[in-house]
């Protein structure tokens, strides 16, 4: 058997959303900083991303975390996140899944009752506290990068709705999100609505990036809206959400960076106090717990320090290969 590519991965999920963690056999990444490596991944390594994310080894909703050497001396690893369409600067569920896996497999020094995992990402250094007691790994708390509201009450027309204008807020939680009230578009965020949420979400992404440029004040490489968050605030129940991103991804988890972006928006409107617990529910019913502390001003934006807690599980160990005569090569995706 002639093998032309081989990569070792650990598959996990956080709140139902997959994270395929690449632990060996990945290509060399040019760059000393995580931003440089991220750029190199996006511009030169599409074939590798397709190989680990696309069918038949993956699927359109697959998500990946590529472990690298750390950028900083006080970090354990660097990590580059990717979906089926591109690399992304930061991911909350992926960070939780990665930290859980590193502790479960003993890839970082373990301490009881909490093991601290420090990761470098293109969005900055992050810290995760992983519960570890009597050899068992529990919930993971992510201390994310500062989050802030970029713009509110932005209106964009949607051609598929006859030019009807949709109002949204743009908030940053490690990535830029367009946050839309689900009820404004007639959604109750049930599972059977996923195909239509995907369709409308992809259209919103296209229009918002054509009409409303964004840029992080200190991280200029983060300069587009990458995700749409349909949000449904409910009295006496967790806020429900569904996040659409990538080429055709519907998040199964409550979305970690989306939870941070939502908390920043609620804080700016006086709807969430520092330290108050925020429950965020996904389209499949999984829940993240979040809270925040006041953050510094970055440029013109008042930030918060967001924290989110979730649970992950390992689902498999895999050794992905490509034979020389494989007729589908690095893989494929079918339109949805």
Does 248 fall in a domain? yes
Q: Are residues 101 and 120 in the same domain?
A: yes
Q: Are residues 56 and 193 in the same domain?
A: no
Of 311, 290, 22, 18, which Cα lies nearest the Cα of 144? 290
The span from the CA of 100 to the CA of 98, in Å, is 5
Q: Are residues 118 and 179 in the same domain?
A: no
Q: What is the CATH number of the domain that holds 35?
A: 3.10.310.10
Does 47 fall in a domain? yes
pTM of this structure: 0.94
Does 334 fall in a domain? no
Q: How far is CA 17 from CA 93, 214, 240, 314, in A?
A: 7, 27, 16, 12
Of 50, 64, 62, 63, which Cα lies nearest the Cα of 22? 64
Q: Are residues 117 and 64 in the same domain?
A: yes
Q: Are residues 168 and 282 in the same domain?
A: yes
User: What is the domain count for the chain?
Assistant: 2
Q: Are residues 160 and 138 in the same domain?
A: no
Does 95 fall in a domain? yes
Burial of 136 (0-12, 13-18, 19+ CB in 10 A): exposed
Q: Return the active site residues.
A: 91, 255
The domain in which residue 45 lies consists of: 3-144+313-323
Q: Are residues 156 and 292 in the same domain?
A: yes
Q: Are residues 13 and 132 in the same domain?
A: yes
Q: What is the pLDDT along the chain (336 residues), one digit of tens a residue?
A: 899 999 999 999 999 999 999 999 999 999 999 999 999 999 999 999 999 999 999 999 999 999 999 999 999 999 999 998 888 899 999 999 999 999 999 999 999 999 999 999 999 999 999 999 999 999 999 999 999 999 999 999 999 989 889 999 999 999 999 999 999 999 999 999 999 999 999 999 999 999 999 999 999 989 999 999 999 999 889 999 999 998 789 999 999 999 999 999 999 999 999 999 999 999 999 999 999 999 999 999 999 999 999 999 999 999 999 999 999 999 999 887
């Amino acid at each position: 058997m002639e093998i032309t590519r081989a990569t070792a991965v650990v598959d996990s999920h956080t709140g139902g959303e997959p994270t395929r963690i690449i632990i060996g056999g990945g290509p060399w990444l040019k760059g000393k900083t995580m931003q440089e490596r991220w750029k190199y991944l996006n511009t030169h390594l599409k074939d590798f991303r397709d190989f680990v994310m696309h069918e038949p080894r993956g699927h359109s909703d697959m998500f990946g975390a590529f472990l690298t050497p750390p950028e900083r001396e006080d970090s354990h690893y660097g990590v580059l996140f990717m979906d089926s369409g591109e690399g992304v600067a930061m991911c909350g569920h992926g960070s939780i899944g990665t930290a859980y896996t590193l502790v479960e497999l003993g890839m970082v020094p373990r301490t009881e009752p909490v093991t601290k995992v420090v990761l470098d990402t293109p969005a900055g250094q992050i810290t995760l506290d992983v519960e570890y007691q009597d050899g068992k790994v529990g919930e993971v708390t992510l201390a994310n990068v500062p989050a802030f509201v970029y713009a509110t009450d932005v209106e964009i027309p949607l051609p598929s709705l006859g030019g009807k204008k949709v109002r949204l807020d743009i908030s940053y939680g490690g990535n830029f999100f367009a946050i839309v009230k689900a009820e404004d578009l007639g959604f109750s965020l049930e599972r059977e609505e996923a195909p239509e949420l995907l369709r409308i979400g992809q259209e919103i992404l296209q229009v918002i990036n054509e009409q409303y440029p964004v840029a992080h004040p200190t991280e200029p490489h983060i300069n587009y809206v990458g995700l749409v968050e349909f949000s449904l605030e409910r009295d006496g129940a967790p806020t429900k959400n569904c996040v659409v991103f990538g080429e055709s991804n519907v998040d199964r988890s409550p979305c970690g960076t989306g939870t941070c972006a939502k908390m920043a928006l609620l804080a700016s409107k006086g709807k969430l106090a520092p330290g108050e617990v925020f429950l965020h529910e996904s389209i499949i019913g999984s829940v993240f717990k979040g809270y925040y502390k006041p953050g510094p001003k970055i440029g013109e934006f008042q930030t918060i320090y967001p924290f989110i807690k979730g649970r992950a599980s390992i689902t498999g160990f895999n050794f992905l290969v490509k034979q020389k005569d494989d007729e589908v090569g690095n893989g494929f995706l079918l339109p949805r």
